Chain A
Amino acid sequence: MEAIAGTGARSIHKAPEEELTALESLQFTDEIHLLMAAPPDSSSSFTALLELSAPQAVELLHLPESANLISNDSYKPTQMDDFKGSLHFPTDIALIERAARLSVFAGESNNKHSNSEKNSAETASDNSSADPEKAVKSEPAETEYSQPSGSDPTVHKKSVKRKEREKKAKGSAKKSKTAANESSDDAEQLPYVHVRARRGQATDSHSLAERARREKINARMKLLQELVPGCSKISGTALVLEEIINHVQSLQRQVEFLSMRLAAVNPRIDFNFDSIFTPEYMQATSLVDSNFPSMVMPVMWPEAQVGGNRQQCQQQWHLDILHQPGWEREEVCHNYITPENSLLSYDSSTNSATLHSSQSKMEL
């Protein structure tokens, strides 16, 4: 599919190539060679890139962003003027796209390598298959030169393009320089080098997967940091994890203390259902909602039974709950009443009778 697209792209571009080659390529190669010879080896990454290849410079100059880049260096405006004076750059997107693809072939008037042409054609076709606007915009901004990876180049590059389109951060000048040095050699052979990843980032499929994994982990760490108080100030994964561990341990200890406290209070629960529940539910204003069927129970319960056996009390309590018409309103409880009962009353043999009775009632 890509071969067909490649050939299609190539066939399409041969026509404009004939049109514009005469004009632009001549002007391109002459002036740019002059410029390439002139500039010293500066520390600025953009000029290093300018040394590289005409086509890339062309792409860079199309964008206003690149104009900002240019303005940073005093050397650049003169270049711009020269370029603009000599060549009338089209602002139309289609023409820009064609020119970009053209620049692929323009420097290759030598037709040295069919392989490189193939690669560039494939990448050009990838650009065309993707959104053409975005392709043009992303290429100049992401001026990272890296060797095309062998395994699954197109798929990974497309996915990377989608990711990196949003991130237009610039990597270190060092990396771009070394990459530029690499591609300066390549430029003679490969006029068009893959520009997919962020500046300063490798486009290896492994590193892409690694980056995706890291982003996932970082997103989850962020959520955790927001949850744990005092973690947003801390920087560094180890310290944040330490804080999270401390927080979880403190919460578990709190639960432990509260459960001991409840256990101390618990013996009273069996005997003081009425006295415990009615003041409890009256005091808790939030529980005044009628959503809770168990609310009705304590009111009814003292009327139903005065005192008596604990087992009997519990049985009555379960049955009363299940008889409540409002029970079905609570979807949550309804679905989980059976497993909940089975799990919660797992060890108590006295509760087996209640379990069976409740299950039979549930079937009704």
Chain B
Amino acid sequence: MASVISNPVGNMNSDRIKRKKKRKSLIKESQQNQSQNWKSEAQQQIYSSKLIQALSQVSLNSPSPSAPRGGRAVREAADRVLAVAAKGRTRWSRAILTSRIKLKFRKRKRARASPAVTAALVTGSNRAKKSRVSILRLKSKSLPAVQRKVKVLGGLVPGCRKQPLPVILEEATDYIAALEMQVRAMSALAELLSGGSAGSSSSAPPPSS
């Protein structure tokens, strides 16, 4: 009798456990679906195609005065394409995409500020610097090693300078995966382009100056 009574209870428990496991696995799957898989081939192909489009748009021969030149333009274009591939879900991708707008905004702000004002600011900051330096030297070793490194890491990942530690760690995880994919895609592209152009150099028309 006792066994008969206990069995349904046991079954219920096992059902509950199974349901919980199913729920957990579903949640995990949905989480994986939400975050990009930077290791997948499809993601790399998407990035490569977008990168090619972007690189073709980068005007190297006659850049506008504000645009960077040469390798830097390529680098920035590649980073922007990477941020687009991230679909703006992460802080670093959003920071990359908005960095250009912010740069333009700051340039306008500086242009508006009169030279006299800037001169006054400079002298004032110089005077304050002396007193500040002594205080800073005393405090420079106060931060523990871990916190110093966390700040460095926050500086490396775009858009994470003033974020708390768990946010920085999360962003760094995604950023490292994205960077690895970027390196793979760009190296493959560079190989193909350099190999392709070398192969077809004979048939290529002479580049106009």
Contacts and interface: CB of A to CB of B under 8 A. Distances in A.
Given A255-B182, A276-B197, A344-B81, A263 B74 contact: yes
Contacts of B67: 347-348
B30 interface: no
Contact of A267 (B54, B61, B150, B156): B61
A223 B173 contact: yes
A150 interface: no
Contacts of A351: 57, 59
Contact of B66 (A267, A317, A347): A347
Contacts of A252: 156, 179
B178 to A, nearest CB: 9
A75 interface: no
Given A271-B204, A272-B204, A279-B192, 10 more contacts: A216-B166, A241-B149, A254-B183, A259-B74, A263-B71, A266-B60, A268-B193, A275-B196, A294-B52, A340-B84
Contacts of A254: 183
Contacts of A221: 169
Interface in A225-247: 227-228, 237-238, 241-242, 244-245, 247
Nearest to A347: B67
Interface of B: 41-42, 45-46, 49-50, 52-61, 63-64, 66-67, 70-75, 77-81, 84-85, 87, 97, 100, 145-146, 149-150, 152-153, 156-157, 165-166, 169-170, 172-173, 175-177, 179-180, 182-183, 186-190, 192-194, 196-197, 199-200, 203-205, 207
Contact of B78 (A255, A272, A340): A255
24 contacts: A217-B166, A224-B169, A224-B172, A227-B176, A245-B153, A248-B157, A256-B75, A259-B72, A260-B71, A262-B74, A263-B74, A266-B60, A268-B193, A269-B56, A275-B196, A275-B200, A276-B193, A279-B192, A280-B192, A314-B56, A336-B87, A340-B84, A347-B63, A348-B59
A345 interface: yes
A351 B187 CA distance: 27
What does DSSP make chain A's interface, helix, strand, loop or mixed? helix
Given A220-B173, A265-B194, A280-B196, A255 B84 contact: no
A286 interface: yes
Contacts of A280: 192-193, 196
What does DSSP make chain B's interface, helix, strand, loop or mixed? helix
Interface in A248-304: 248-249, 251-252, 254-256, 258-263, 265-272, 275-276, 279-280, 283-284, 286-287, 289, 291-292, 294
A349 interface: yes
A343 interface: yes
A259 B169 contact: no
Interface string A202-219: 000000000001001100
Most chain B beta-carbon neighbours within 10 Å: one of A241, A249, A267, A307: A241
B26 to A, nearest CB: 20
A262 B45 contact: no
A333 interface: yes
B42 to A, nearest CB: 8
Contacts, number: 189
A22 interface: no
Given A248-B176, A266-B55, A279-B196, A343 B166 contact: no
A347 B64 contact: yes
Contacts of B61: 267
Contacts of A265: 190, 193-194, 197
Given A216-B166, A248-B156, A346-B100, A259 B50 contact: no
A350 interface: yes
Contacts of B176: 224, 227-228, 244, 247-248, 251
Interface of A: 213, 216-217, 220-221, 223-224, 227-228, 237-238, 241-242, 244-245, 247-249, 251-252, 254-256, 258-263, 265-272, 275-276, 279-280, 283-284, 286-287, 289, 291-292, 294, 307, 314, 317, 330, 332-333, 336, 339-340, 343-351
A139 B83 CA distance: 51
Contact of B57 (A271, A284, A348): A348
Contacts of A260: 70-71, 74-75
Given A314-B56, A344-B80, A344-B81, A248 B199 contact: no
A255 B169 contact: no
B67 to A, nearest CB: 4
B156 A249 contact: yes
Given A224-B169, A258-B186, A263 B78 contact: no
A247 B156 CA distance: 11
B149 A238 contact: yes
